[in-house]
Amino acid sequence: MSQLASELLAKETLNYKDVELLIGPPPHGKKRLIGPEEFEVGVNEDAGMEIGSSTTSQVPTQQPPEEPKQQA
C-alpha cells in the first residue's frame, strides 16, 4: 500500500490502469470500463429520455394533470 500512497503523492490522481499496475488486477475479474458517451446514454435511458439526446442536463417534462371541465 505504500506504493499506492507514494504514487498518489507524486501524481495526485490515479486512473484505473495506474492502480491495477500498482496493486494488481481485481480478485473477481477485470472491470468493464465505459466511456462518457455510453454513460450518458445509460443515464438518459434510466431517466426515460429519448436515446441520442445531446445533453444529460435536460429533464423529461411531465404534463400537469388536466383540470376537470366545469358544466355550464
In a domain, 72, yes or no: no
Query: Residue 64's pLDDT is what?
Result: 57
Q: Is the pLDDT of residue 10 over 90?
A: yes
Q: Which carries the bigger pLDDT value, residue 19 or residue 30?
A: 19
In a domain, 20, yes or no: yes
Instruction: List the domain range (segments joined by +) for residue 24.
Output: 2-46
Q: Which carries the bigger pLDDT value, residue 54 or residue 15?
A: 15
Q: Is the pLDDT of residue 61 over 80?
A: no
Q: Is the pLDDT of residue 67 over 70?
A: no
Q: How many domains does the chain contain in total?
A: 1
Distance CA 20, CA 18 (A): 5
Distance CA 24, CA 69 (A): 68
The pTM of this model reads 0.41
